[in-house]
């Protein structure tokens, strides 16, 4: 695995933040996590990338990019409705921006980058065919079997754009990511 050294890339290095700050739902002034894990605010990277490349429209972007010792994660926080098509667009736009910034190809992303969608199951969901209670039951069975339940059609992006996808409730995210990487 070829890891990214943030210091080499000014656009990444100058947009460091915390998970908490990147998780804010500004419309409701709510945070999806209280974690102070250092990440890159990828929404800010997208704004600077737009200027750098002279792009007319702002590319869609994931909220955060976490670069660990051996893992890279894009993280998107959704405290309200989830539009699966918009999520896929954010993944693609973010991947293309990152490949350009670090001068790698999509194969690098496919092999090294994982994706996490953190959502609030108490909020009304759109474009979802599975009820919240049914999804909770599936999640419990998958957890017992040590398998990862990937919702919102994101599983099909594995090995196409990303290495692995995860969909976590806020509580699952704290357990499965924050506790591990804190």
The tens place of each residue's pLDDT in the chain, 182 residues long, gives 456 666 688 999 999 999 999 999 999 999 999 999 999 999 999 999 999 999 999 999 999 999 998 899 999 999 988 999 999 999 999 999 999 999 999 999 999 999 999 999 877 454 444 455 555 655 555 554 455 678 777 888 888 889 999 999 999 999 999 999 99
Which pLDDT does position 92 carry in this prediction? 94
Which pLDDT does position 148 carry in this prediction? 65
DSSP-H helix ranges across 71-157: 84-102, 106-112, 132-144
Provide the 8-state DSSP code for 104: -
Gap between the Cα atoms of 31 and 22, Å rounded = 8
Which pLDDT does position 46 carry in this prediction? 97
Alpha-carbon distances, residue 172 vs 102, 117, 143, 148, 175 (angstroms): 31, 11, 10, 11, 5
Alpha-carbon distances, residue 182 vs 18, 23, 36, 66, 88 (angstroms): 11, 16, 8, 12, 28
**Residue 49 burial class via C-beta count within 10 angstroms: exposed 0-12, middle 13-18, buried 19 and up:** buried
Gap between the Cα atoms of 43 and 129, Å rounded = 29
Which pLDDT does position 152 carry in this prediction? 79
Alpha-carbon distances, residue 138 vs 13, 123, 168 (angstroms): 39, 19, 13
Alpha-carbon distances, residue 74 vs 16, 102, 142, 156 (angstroms): 14, 15, 23, 16
Which pLDDT does position 128 carry in this prediction? 47
């Amino acid at each position: 695995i070829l890891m990214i050294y943030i210091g080499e890339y000014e656009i990444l290095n100058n947009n460091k933040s915390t998970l908490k700050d990147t998780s804010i739902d500004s419309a409701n002034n709510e945070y999806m996590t209280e974690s102070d894990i250092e990440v890159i605010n990828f929404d800010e990277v997208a704004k600077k990338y737009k200027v750098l490349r002279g792009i007319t429209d702002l590319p869609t972007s994931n909220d955060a990019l976490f670069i660990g010792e051996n893992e890279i994660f894009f993280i998107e926080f959704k405290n309200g409705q989830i539009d699966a098509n918009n999520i896929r667009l954010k993944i693609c736009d973010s991947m293309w921006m990152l490949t350009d910034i670090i001068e790698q190809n999509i194969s690098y992303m496919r092999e090294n980058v994982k994706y996490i969608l953190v959502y609030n199951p108490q909020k009304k969901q759109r474009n979802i065919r599975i009820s919240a209670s049914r999804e909770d039951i599936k999640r419990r069975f998958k957890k017992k079997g040590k398998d990862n339940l990937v919702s919102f059609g994101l599983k099909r992006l594995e090995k196409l754009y990303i290495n692995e996808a995860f969909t976590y409730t806020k509580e699952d995210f704290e357990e499965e990511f924050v506790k591990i990487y804190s």
